[in-house]
Amino acid sequence: MICFVLEEIPVSKLKLSAELAFSKGQSEESLKIWTQVISREPKNEQHYYKRFRVQLRLQRFKDALKDLTSAIELKPAFEIAISQRAGLHLRLGHCREGMADFQLLQQ
């Protein structure tokens, strides 16, 4: 049996695997891999955004909001993440938060 240590797999390959799993509808697998990617590169807002997409597909809305917020904290001018978070807030009935995000986009 061959065992691979997570640290030996390049992040670029993990990201490709996560995207492939997502495109095949293997959301749980994609989520698991994106979580590994984030553990290796926690300062990359794109990773949180990509995991948000998986969380959204799985209808894990609270976790999706957390990932969007993490992405925005890392890159405050991340417009697509702000827009997505605003829409998700409104979808969840969080009107004040959603409108606050839309106002951020207009600044």
Residue 57's contacts (CB-CB under 8 Å, 6 or more residues apart) are 22, 27
pLDDT higher than 70, residue 2 = no
- What pLDDT shows up at residue 107? 83
Instruction: From residue 82, give the alpha-carbon distance in Å to each of 5, 16, 22, 54, 66.
Output: 35, 25, 22, 17, 12
> Percentage of the chain surpassing pLDDT 70?
93
| Residues written for the chain | 107
Over the stretch 26-59, which tens digit does the pLDDT of each residue have?
999 999 999 999 999 999 999 999 999 999 999 9
pLDDT higher than 80, residue 60 = yes
pLDDT higher than 70, residue 3 = no
Alpha carbons 91 and 3: distance in angstroms, whole number: 43
- What pLDDT shows up at residue 7? 60
SS3 label, residue 78: coil
Structure tokens at 54: 């998986």
